[in-house]
Structures are given as structure tokens and as C-alpha cells.
Amino acid sequence: MAYTPYPQIEHLLRRAGFGARADELDTYRQDLFATAVGRLLNYGSIPDDVDQKIGAPGYVGITTAGQFSPRTVITDARQRWLFRMVHTNRPLQEKMTLFWHNHFATAYGKLAGQLGTEEATRYLAAKPSEDPGGVRGQIELFREYALGNFRDLLVEVSKDTAMLYWLDGYLNTRTRPQENFGREIMELFTFGVGNYTESDVYAAARVFTGWNVTRVGNAADGSARLQFNYNAGQHDTGEKTFSFAIYANGSKTIPARAAAGGMQDGLDLIDGLCAHPETPRYLGRKLYRFFISEVGDVPESFLARVSATFRESRYDMRAVMRDVLLSREFWDERNYFTRFSWPVEYVVHSLKDIGWNGFSLREALTPLSNMGQNLFDPPDVAGWDLGRGWFSTGSMLARMNFVSALAANQRFNLATAAATRAQNPESLLAFVQEALKTPPLDPTVTGAMIEYLNASGPWTGSAAQLQAKVPGIVHLVASTPEYQFL
């Protein structure tokens, strides 16, 4: 079972997906690059049936306390999302969903305090098709708009129940404006610090007064739910002036409007933010760091190209992402393995590389927490601290200990898979490096690994020896700093 590496396709799937299952590699390696990118971008033609595989044999397992209920139980919601990352045939959709989850970082912890654990899970993770009230949880919004129009996404996020609670928009009223959302839509969601003033924060808060929720449906059939509602009576009808242009004619002032039509204020501000020249540059920097490299500066030429596409396509993220994935920066070999893996990426690509049969995703949740990433629960509205921020001694141990547990769990599968390549320690190590698709390792590192394989007596390749040593060497290879990069 000699393995032929496909470095470009492996790179593409590490970045635009969550690593490569064998069947994904089989599919994508037939393609020209442009075709492969097209398959990732135009996922609409690929069936979205992955959730139906949950619980089926041959897939990674899940474990629940009672009935599997990802709509109301956060640990179930986390397992469902991880399952999707492992088994989806639309990897870029899932990857962008994660990107938006970090971009519009909304945390379960606060929502659970406000709404209770079941409702908090519901407004974050429910699928409309499974919810008696048709609630679309925030993550489903991100999935729906994964490569959609950014302006439309921003409007939907501003109306999203979880967001209205997370940034206190539901408390933002005419008489007592609440600045939390007004600040963050500028600081974190669009153009970033340095492009607005404190008086812009006041004005933005006033713009969104009245964007609220209301309770609809009935409790008897479970359809009772919070739903977006523009409350005209709470809207501040006065004019609002900003330090930057809101309208195409350069006007910085949103005019006074009757309360009934006041929701237009927020739409105007969102239009102004999307049209602001710094917004695509802010997004472009984040996309570069996420998809291309965390090393060095973000090239000005890249930002210029992405910004032009963003503007010309009227904020179409599919067009923007086509630019990103077909950019020469993306395909530059010097950018391979220059992205620090996020904990969920590390866990999912470890599962794809090492194996999942007989492993339950429930066993990944505590390790993920120790690595610093609970899905649906970013530390604050700025999202996770990326790059080097993921790495500390404690989180490094958590990563090493996760792959130890996974390798032990996969002991027999691994020993069987490695048997034909286990003539000697060197051939076994080569097999494991291929299976994990690692970048080249230094001779000091491989020397220590060979020493480990030789440590407890002469190499025989017996079943007993393989059942100990294959998981042992998989643990060491997957623990290397090299394997922490994508």
C-alpha cells in the first residue's frame, strides 16, 4: 500500500477543509486545481446528508446521556458539529461556518445564564427542520450564508436572537441606548479599531434601537420561541451623524425618520459599513490569516485584489473566496504548514489521519476544552486568540494527550493497517508519517522515534509488538510541533 503524496491537494484540503479522508483524497486528486476549488466553492450540488449518518456504522461515534438532542443539549450540538467536520462532503461550507462563528463570536455561557441551557443551545444550534418553531440557530445561519452575501449576513446577524442577547441588543431602547452591539459591529464585525470614534458608538447604538425580539408560538406544541421584531415604539427617530460616509453620495448623516420606518436606519448603517473601504481590508486580513498564512505580513496586493472583488461583486463571499483559493499566495509552497491549527482542526484531522472507527466524539470534548476551544463558547466577542495564542505548555500537553487517547483507542485498527509496512522500525515510521501527511521531520526527531521503537527489545514485528508500538509511534508523530500546523 505505497502512498503517493498529493501535496497540493493535501494543502487545499487542510486549509479549505479539515484535512483529508481517504475518500476525499480519492475524489480531489482526480481534479485539476481549478476543478477542485470549484468543487469546494460550489457545494450546492453536493447533497447535504451528513447529519443522517450520525449513529450509522462506519462513522465516528457520538455518546449522549439520553436521546441525542443537538437542538437542546450543548454537548450534543458540539458532537454534531464535529461529526460534520469529519464526514461532510462540503468541507469549505463547514470551514466558513467555523470562520464566521469566530468572526461573530457568540458564547453559550452568557446565553445559558440569560435563557437557560436548552434555549441557549436552541438559538445557537437548532436546525429549522428539526425545531417545532422552525428556529434557525446561529450556526445554521452561518452555514446558510457560509459563502453568501456579506451584507445580507450582517443583516441576518443583527436580527439573530442569539446575537441580540449576546450583545444586549434586546435592551437597546430609545430612552436608554445600549452601546454593546453598536460598538462591536464596527470594531469587530466590519472595519476594526481606528476607523470610528466614541460618538460613532453612541450613534450606532441609537441606530439599532428597536431591533428586538418578541415571543411567538405556543408552548403546547413546542413552537414557542423568541423571534426578531422591530419595535418601532423603542426606536430613536432623530438623525444620526457619523464620522464616515453612510451613503454613496458621501453623506454621513442618517436622516430623522418616522418610527414606523426606522428600521431602515440599521440597514443604512450596514450598507455604509459594507461600502467602507476598510471593511474588505479587515475581512481580507482575517481571510489571509485563516486560509493562507499566519507568517509575515499580509501582502498589500492581496488585500487590493480581494477588496476589489468584494466591492465589484457587491459583497459576494463566494467570489471573494474564489480569489483567495486561486491566489498565487494560497498555492505558494512556502505557505504550506504556516497556519497554527485550531484545536477543532487538530482533533478532526487527527481523526481523519489516525482513524475513527470505535471512537466517540464525546471523548474529544474535554480535551478540546483543555486545548482552549469549546465550540459555541468562544472566550469573548473578539473570538479565540489565534495563532501562537493557541499554544502554551498546558494546551500542548492537552494536544499530546488527546492523540495518545485516540491512538490507544485505535490500537487494533492501527496495528492491522501498519502490518504490511512493519518490516523494521524505519519502514513503520515512514508509514506513519505518510498516513499523518506530516512535513519532513528533523533527523533528531526521527532519531528519537526510532530509538523509542527499538527501546524494549529487538524488532520482531509480532502482533503484540505492533499493538504496542504502532499506537506509541502514532502518538509521538501526532504530538510533534510539525503536526500542529496546517
Partner 1 sequence: MKVTRRQFVKGGVAAFTVSFAAPEFLSEVALAQGATSRNLVVLYLSGGNDALSTLIPYADPFYYSRRPTIAVPAGNVLQVGTDSSRVVLGLHPRLTGLKQIFDRGNLALIQRTGYPNQSRSHFLGTDIWSSASPSNPAGTGWVGRYLDTLPTPVDPLIGWNTTRDLPRVLMSNKVAVPAIPNPATYALASPNTGADAQAARVAAMRISSHVPVDRPDLAFVYGNAAAAMATLDRVATVSQYRSTLTYPNSGLGQALRAVAGAMVRGVGTRVFYVTTGGYDTHAAQNPNQVNGSYTNLMGTLNDALLAFYQDLLNQGLLGDTLVLSFSEFGRRISENGSNGTDHGAASVMLALGGRINGGLYGTAPNLNMDPQNPTLENNAGDVRFETDFRSVYARVIDQWLGADSVGILGGNFRNDRLTFV
Site membership for partner 1, residue 397 (CB under 8 A): yes
Dihedral, 29, 33, 34, 35 alpha carbons, nearest 10: 0
Q: Which residues inside 323-342 make contact with partner 1, applying CB under 8 A?
A: 338, 340
Site membership for partner 1, residue 198 (CB under 8 A): yes
Site membership for partner 1, residue 438 (CB under 8 A): no
Indicate the residue among 317 and 474 with the shorter CB distance to partner 1. 474
Site membership for partner 1, residue 168 (CB under 8 A): yes
Site membership for partner 1, residue 178 (CB under 8 A): yes
Angle 357-358-363 from CA coordinates, rounded to 5°: 115
The C-alpha cell that represents 366 in the structure block: 474535554
Site membership for partner 1, residue 456 (CB under 8 A): yes
Residue 40 and residue 327 in contact, taking contact as beta carbons nearer than 8 Å = no
Site membership for partner 1, residue 358 (CB under 8 A): no
Site membership for partner 1, residue 476 (CB under 8 A): yes
Residue 307 and residue 276 in contact, taking contact as beta carbons nearer than 8 Å = no
Q: Which stretch binds partner 1 (CB under 8 A): 34-42, 54-62, 125-133, 470-478?
A: 470-478
Question: What does the alpha-carbon distance between residue 27 and residue 233 come to, in Å, rounded to a whole number?
Answer: 56
We find the least distance from the C-beta atom of residue 405 to partner 1, in angstroms, to be 7
Site membership for partner 1, residue 442 (CB under 8 A): yes
Q: Select the residue interacting with partner 1 from 258, 393, 458, 464 (CB under 8 A).
A: 393
Site membership for partner 1, residue 216 (CB under 8 A): no
Q: What is the 3-state secondary structure (H, E, C) of the chain?
A: CCCCCCHHHHHHHHHHCCCCCHHHHHHHCCCCHHHHHHHHHCHHHCCCCHHHHCCCCCCCECCCCCCCCCCCCHHHHHHHHHHHHHHCCCHHHHHHHHHHHHHCCCCHHHHHHHHCHHHHHHHHHCCCCCCCCCCCCHHHHHHHCCCCEHHHHHHHHHCCHHHHHHCCHHHCCCCCCCHHHHHHHHHCCCCCCCCCCHHHHHHHHHHCCCEEEEEECCCCCCCCEEEEEECHHHCCCCCEECCCCCCCCCCCEECCCCHHHCHHHHHHHHHHHHHCCHHHHHHHHHHHHHHHCCCCCCCHHHHHHHHHHHHHCCCEHHHHHHHHHCCHHHHCHHHCCCCECCHHHHHHHHHHHHCCCCCECHHHHHHHHHHCCCCCCCCCCCCCCCHHHHCCHHHHHHHHHHHHHHHHHCHHHHHHHHHHHCCCHHHHHHHHHHHHCCCCCCHHHHHHHHHHHCCCCCCCCCHHHHHHHHHHHHHHHHCCHHHHEC
Q: Which stretch binds partner 1 (CB under 8 A): 59-67, 272-280, 396-404, 424-432?
A: 396-404
Site membership for partner 1, residue 452 (CB under 8 A): yes
Site membership for partner 1, residue 239 (CB under 8 A): no
Q: Select the residue interacting with partner 1 from 179, 278, 329, 363 (CB under 8 A).
A: 179
- Phi then psi for residue 49, to 5 deg, are -115, 15
Q: Which stretch binds partner 1 (CB under 8 A): 9-17, 52-60, 321-329, 449-457?
A: 449-457
We find the least distance from the C-beta atom of residue 264 to partner 1, in angstroms, to be 22
Site membership for partner 1, residue 44 (CB under 8 A): no
Q: Which stretch binds partner 1 (CB under 8 A): 44-52, 119-127, 324-332, 473-481?
A: 473-481
Indicate the residue among 332 and 451 with the shorter CB distance to partner 1. 451
We find the least distance from the C-beta atom of residue 315 to partner 1, in angstroms, to be 25
Site membership for partner 1, residue 295 (CB under 8 A): yes
Site membership for partner 1, residue 185 (CB under 8 A): no
Site membership for partner 1, residue 391 (CB under 8 A): yes
Site membership for partner 1, residue 471 (CB under 8 A): yes
Site membership for partner 1, residue 11 (CB under 8 A): no
Site membership for partner 1, residue 171 (CB under 8 A): yes
Dihedral, 21, 24, 26, 32 alpha carbons, nearest 10: -140
Indicate the residue among 232 and 396 with the shorter CB distance to partner 1. 396
Q: Which stretch binds partner 1 (CB under 8 A): 61-69, 156-164, 169-177, 313-321?
A: 169-177
Q: What mask, x for binding partner 1 by CB under 8 A, covers residues 257 to 286?
A: ------------------------------
Which residues sit at the interface with partner 1, rule CB under 8 A? Answer: 168, 171-173, 175-180, 183, 187, 193, 198, 201, 294-295, 338, 340, 370-372, 380-382, 385, 387-397, 400-401, 404-405, 407-408, 411, 442, 444-445, 447-449, 451-452, 455-456, 468-469, 471-472, 474-476, 479-482, 484-485
